[in-house]
Amino acid sequence: PPDFGIIKLNFDASYIQEQKLAITAVLARDCRGEVVGADTYLLEDVGDAFVAEARACERALLFARMMGFRRLLVEGDSQSVIKHVQKKEVDRSILRPITYHIQRLHLLFDEVTYNFVPREVNSAAHVLALEGRSRRVCGNWVDGVPDSVRLAVENDWLLWNQRF
């Protein structure tokens, strides 16, 4: 879990290559590990999974802004996306417009830290992306999250407690 006062946003994307569709997912948790918000979003005409992951990171910041969160820890399992977002120099990749927008959004918050995490650490966001994809549900999950996501969050908490 993040430190007190910081919201941890895990993001992920589920990409459907044949249809060029992606479902992005954002899962927000507080310092107690409690889910304080979740979002899934459908994107059309997405070129590849790399772009889908970058858009998921972008959606995480847009979601945080909408929710009124000010201090963020943003985690994703795409190391290349995290590296591109953290770059200070001009990015010449296909992700440039997305990473530029993410860097502009970053300025709207008091604090934003980006971390790469392995897939197993990002499993709850991955499960949420798959749920959004299978249920075709896009938008905020206001009445809690699906049981599969809740179980992934609980498993994260158990694993974290075993480390300490």
Q: What is the pLDDT of residues 16-67, one digit of tens each?
A: 999 999 999 999 999 988 899 999 999 999 999 999 999 999 999 999 999 9
The more confidently predicted of residues 160 and 133 is 133
83 dihedral zone (left: phi>0; alpha: psi -120 to 50; beta): alpha
Q: What is the pLDDT of residues 66-98, one digit of tens each?
A: 999 999 999 999 999 999 999 877 777 888 899
The confidence score (pLDDT) of residue 21 equals: 93
Identify the residue whose tokens are 């290349």. Answer: 80
Q: What is the CATH number of domain 7-163?
A: 3.30.420.10
Question: pLDDT tier at 11 (50, 70, 90 boundaries)?
Answer: very high
Q: Where are the alpha helices (DSSP H) in 96-146?
A: 96-106, 123-135
Domain limits, the chain: 7-163
| 142 pLDDT higher than 70 | no
How far, in Å, CA of 83 to CA of 87, rounded?
6
The confidence score (pLDDT) of residue 164 equals: 59
The structure tokens listed for 125 are: 């966001």
The confidence score (pLDDT) of residue 66 equals: 95
Q: Is 43 helix (H, G, I), strand (E, B) or coil?
A: strand
Residue 104, amino acid: R
Q: Is 79 helix (H, G, I), strand (E, B) or coil?
A: helix
Q: What share of the chain is helix, strand, coil (3-state, %, to 5)?
A: 45, 25, 30
pTM of full prediction above 0.95: no
The confidence score (pLDDT) of residue 163 equals: 66
| 138 pLDDT higher than 90 | no
| Strand duo 139-140 + 7-16: pairing | unpaired
Mean local confidence (pLDDT), 120-134: 89
Identify the sign of the CA torsion 86, 80, 38, 73: negative
**Residues pairing with 68 in the sheet:** none
- Residue 99: Cβ within 10 Å count: 21
Q: Is 42 helix (H, G, I), strand (E, B) or coil?
A: strand
